[in-house]
Structure 1
């Protein structure tokens, strides 16, 4: 239980430190890696601590990785309006 939350905290610190570092691709490569590592951690936290804590960690991760979330929602909205494309 504590180890899942510790892993989520380490992920959040790593995501924030990565955001402070300079990047030529505007941190997209780091965002892909953080998403790939964060999804299993989110599942682990949700499995061990319950869905409420999982939703809190999801909101914390979405606040750190806000631009991938914004682009994902824009993509979903475009697919909902024009599903043939």
Structure 2
């Protein structure tokens, strides 16, 4: 039987796929913020209730969904750090 946290994680993944399929004028950024706000507590819940392996599996799924926002975040961090050291 699947735990409630894994069920919520699966629903989150389905919601992310549905939201990605709908056209958007702002390149899906508002939907990404919504998914981040909902997904972070679910991620913690999965780690706490189902353990490290399921938590890592959901982390990989989250990274797959947010690959472009994560690239922008890493680029921003690199720019910020390199500006301070120059």
- CA distance in structure 1 between the partners assigned to 2:52 and 2:72 by the alignment: 25
In the aligned structure 2, how far is the partner of 1:5 from the partner of 1:23? 29
| 2-structure distance, mates of 1:46, 1:80 | 31
Alignment of 1:1-85 (within 5 A): 2-83=3-84
The total of aligned residue pairs comes to 84
Give TM-score, length-normalised by structure 1.
Answer: 0.90
TM-superposed CA distance for 1:82, in Å, is 2.4
Greater Rg, structure 1 or structure 2? 2
Runs of 4+ in 1 over 2 A off after TM superposition: none
Distance in structure 1 (CA, Å) of the matches to 2:54 and 2:9: 11
Q: Which runs of 5+ in 1 are unaligned?
A: none
How far off its partner does 1:11 sit?
A: 0.2
